[in-house]
């Protein structure tokens, strides 16, 4: 077997987790994911999660309200996808997850389906101004089977 210890290593399937509040570190994380995807011709998955916590009991009884929230999040992710395409990233997929904690949805539903080799996350992502703020990237770094970059 050839000595591969000095071979270049980069990522081919990059998953960026988007905070809909678009805090500074998420914006920087997105720019890094774009740069890597463009320069190494990687597939780019842009994911966001509609948390259970985002949905009140009242809203859960009002399907229209829930659909409205879901459509709002889909539109945000689609906007990121359009920006990625404008940045000359060719292979972009929008992913909106739902239900449970953000990190669980990402690790148990989105990752097995998209199969990233790198997850990119901002350091202060909290995905809805509540829950456990500032920790999504760290929890992904801890629990993921693939490489994770936490951007500040």
> In the complex, which residues of this chain contact a second copy (CB under 8 A)?
5-10, 27-28, 30-32, 34-35, 38-39, 83, 86-87, 123, 137-138, 141-142, 144-152
DSSP reduced 3-state for 48 = strand
- Tell me the closest approach of the beta carbon of residue 128 to a second copy, in angstroms: 21
**Separation CA 84–CA 92 (nearest Å):** 7
Number of Cβ atoms within 10 Å of the Cβ of 121 = 28
**Residue closer to a second copy, measured from CB, 6 or 63:** 6
Phi-psi sector, 55: left (phi>0), alpha (psi -120 to 50), beta: beta
**Residue closer to a second copy, measured from CB, 19 or 54:** 19
- Tell me the closest approach of the beta carbon of residue 140 to a second copy, in angstroms: 10
- Tell me the closest approach of the beta carbon of residue 14 to a second copy, in angstroms: 12
**Residue closer to a second copy, measured from CB, 31 or 69:** 31
Number of Cβ atoms within 10 Å of the Cβ of 143 = 13
**Separation CA 141–CA 118 (nearest Å):** 10
- Tell me the closest approach of the beta carbon of residue 123 to a second copy, in angstroms: 8
Q: Which helix (H) or strand (E) holds 17?
A: strand 13-17
**Residue closer to a second copy, measured from CB, 45 or 122:** 122
Q: Is the distance from CB of 80 to CB of 47 less than 8 angstroms?
A: no
């Amino acid at each position: 077997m050839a000595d591969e210890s000095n071979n270049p290593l980069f990522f081919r399937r990059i998953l960026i987790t988007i905070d809909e509040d678009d805090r500074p570190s998420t914006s920087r994380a997105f720019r890094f994911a774009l740069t890597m995807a463009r320069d190494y011709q990687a597939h780019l998955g842009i994911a966001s999660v509609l948390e259970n916590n985002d949905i009140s009991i009242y809203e859960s009884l009002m399907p229209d309200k829930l659909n409205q929230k879901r459509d709002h999040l889909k539109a945000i992710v689609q906007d990121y996808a359009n920006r990625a395409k404008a940045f000359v990233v060719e292979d972009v997929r929008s992913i909106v997850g739902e239900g449970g904690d953000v990190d669980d949805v990402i690790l148990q539903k989105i990752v097995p389906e998209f199969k990233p080799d790198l997850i990119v996350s901002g350091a202060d992502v909290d995905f809805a101004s509540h829950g456990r703020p500032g920790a999504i990237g760290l929890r992904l770094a801890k629990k993921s089977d693939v490489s994770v970059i936490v951007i500040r």
